[in-house]
Amino acid sequence: MQNYKLTIEYDGTNYLGFQVQAKGKTIQGEIEHALERLFREKIRIISSGRTDRGVHARGHVINFKVSTDLKNRNIRAALNTYLPRDIVIKKIEKVASDFHAQYSVKDKTYEYVIVLASIRSPLLQRYAYCCNYDFNVKAMRKALKHVVGKHDFRAFASKIPSDKNTERTIKKATLNFNGARLAIRLTADGFLYNMVRNIMGTLCLVGQGKLTSDDFRNILRSKDRTKAAPPAPPEGLTLLSVHY
């Protein structure tokens, strides 16, 4: 059995998220269906994580094991033929048998994009949170610094993990602004459910002047989900990369 690592890009607009569900289309479901068509057997993939409904990815990583004589390029070509146009296998590699797409992760990078516009853009609204606010970017940058480092992110978790460990380490947090587009990138050793979107929803309140940077810090320290804002819309979020 050979262990294969795949890097995937997808537009999550038309899916219920990555993970297979009882009903509805998912990224995982489409990929496993394509694998079954190619290898004539059911193959369960291992994912680096899961993305929510409507969230996108440029560098989602999975792995699976199969016995085959097919070359990597032929596997990739065949899978991309079977997959819908909004999902593509960008890269396929043979890896060691103990490689695990989830447990081998060192860190992940997400990007959240906000477009400031008085009129919504049909071309941008699938891949950004389009809104008409006069954000205080300086205040947002100041608040964003509070998430860097190891913290208990319970206040920004929509669901508490079964092991109840809500500590994560954000290694890097940046905000780039060009006058109409904000791009916030977070790199961490792991993320809780809806963590990025909940951080972004609360950060947007800072940008609107409804919260201060100190308020944001206090919400983080409170470990109280009810004190933070609702999650920002999913279409602005993209998983950029997973590092091993």
Active site residues: 52
- Residue listed under structure tokens 């997400």: 110
**Spatial contact of 225 and 155, defined as CB atoms under 8 Å apart:** yes
Which helix (H) or strand (E) segment holds residue 9: the answer is strand 2-10
* Contact (Cβ atoms closer than 8 angstroms) between residue 191 and residue 147: no
Pairing of strands 56-66, 237-243: parallel
Nearest-angstrom CA–CA distance, 181 and 236: 11
DSSP-derived 3-state class of residue 225: helix
Taking residue 20's Cβ as centre, other Cβ atoms within 10 Å add up to 18
Pairing relationship of beta strands 87-95 and 56-66 according to DSSP bridges: unpaired
Q: Would you state the structure tokens that stand for residue 219, as one six-digit string?
A: 């919400």
Q: Which pair of tokens denotes residue 224? A: 């109280």
Distance (Å, rounded) from C-alpha 111 to C-alpha 182? Answer: 10
Both tokens assigned to 85? 């146009």
